[in-house]
Amino acid sequence: MSDRLLVLCRHGQSDWNLKNLFTGWKDPGLTELGVEEAKAAGRKLKNLGLTFDIAFTSDLSRAQETLRLALDEIGQPELETIRDWRLNERDYGDLTGLNKDDARKKWGEEQVHIWRRSYDIAPPGGESLKDTVARTLPYYVQEILPQVLRGRHVLVSAHGNSLRALVMVLERLTPEGILKRELATGVPIVYRLNADSTVESWQDLAG
């Protein structure tokens, strides 16, 4: 197996996930379940015998807290960590803070579905998934991928849509395919990369 290790982990359940609200760049904390999900992620990685050389996370506390809790379980609480806004969740603009059912009542089921599940149509004042890819992917290529290709073990704690941008490239998914790719809260995905940055193998640690 290659030593070019990249682990992606979506944050544990947040308070706004629980309340079915569009979260985006707002900064709610983890629920009790989210805390347990983050700890469980760390235990799963520890059980695989994995340790890390560097971590990356977003500017939002739910991703940072997930990372902290996971690293505590692994036994690496002081791991070098880089925070960057380009790993933030997709900005939902005018939808931010709204209950998803209330948004459907205001704009209609079909329109909200288009905003949530199309690749390149953004909600008012917000980002499409394509926009999120446009800021997240260059950061991955410039800052994260070089660390992996040097043989360092890299852990990334971020968000459903910013991680989708990376998964899209790693798993060679089409814009349609990435929309169907669900990332569960608090579940690590372990990738081993080839020297040319393609994926040698990957494992979703759900369950």
153-166 confidence digits (pLDDT tens): 999 999 999 999 99
Give pLDDT, residue 203: 96
| Residue 86 marked ligand-binding | no
Choosing from 73, 89, 153, 159, the catalytic residue is 89
* Per-chain mean pLDDT for the chain: 95
* 5-204 CATH: 3.40.50.1240
Q: Is the pLDDT of residue 19 over 70?
A: yes
CA–CA dist 92, 102 (Å, integer): 15
Q: List, in order, residues 6 or more apart from 192 with CB less than 8 Å away.
A: 1, 2, 4, 5, 6, 199, 200, 201, 202
| Residue 14 marked ligand-binding | yes
User: What backbone torsions phi and psi does residue 174 show, to the nearest 5 degrees?
Assistant: -75, 165
Task: Report the side by side order of strands in the sheet with 199-204.
Answer: 81-83, 54-57, 154-158, 5-10, 188-193, 199-204
93-119 pLDDT, tens digit each: 999 999 999 999 999 999 999 998 899
| Residue 92 marked ligand-binding | yes
Strand 5-10 to strand 188-193: parallel, antiparallel, or no bridges (unpaired)? antiparallel
CA–CA dist 165, 201 (Å, integer): 18
Residue that has been written with the tokens 């790693």 in this structure: 170
Residue that has been written with the tokens 């579905």 in this structure: 113
| Residue 161 marked ligand-binding | yes
- Is residue 65 annotated as a catalytic residue, yes or no? no
Give pLDDT, residue 2: 67
| Residue 62 marked ligand-binding | yes
CA–CA dist 193, 39 (Å, integer): 26
Q: For the chain, what's the residue count?
A: 207
114-143 pLDDT, tens digit each: 998 899 999 999 999 999 999 999 999 999
Using pLDDT thresholds of 50, 70 and 90, give the confidence band for residue 50. Answer: very high
Q: Is the pLDDT of residue 30 over 60?
A: yes
Q: Is the pLDDT of residue 1 over 70?
A: no
- Is residue 11 annotated as a catalytic residue, yes or no? yes
Q: What pTM does this model have? A: 0.95
**What's CA 25's distance to the chain center, in Å?**
13
What's the Cα-to-Cα distance from 135 to each of 55, 163, 188, 189, 192, rounded to whole Å? 19, 12, 22, 21, 24
Domain layout of the chain by residue ranges: 5-204
Token pair of 59 as six digits: 């500017």
| Residue 17 marked ligand-binding | yes
| Residue 12 marked ligand-binding | yes
51-92 pLDDT, tens digit each: 999 999 999 999 999 999 999 999 999 999 999 999 999 999
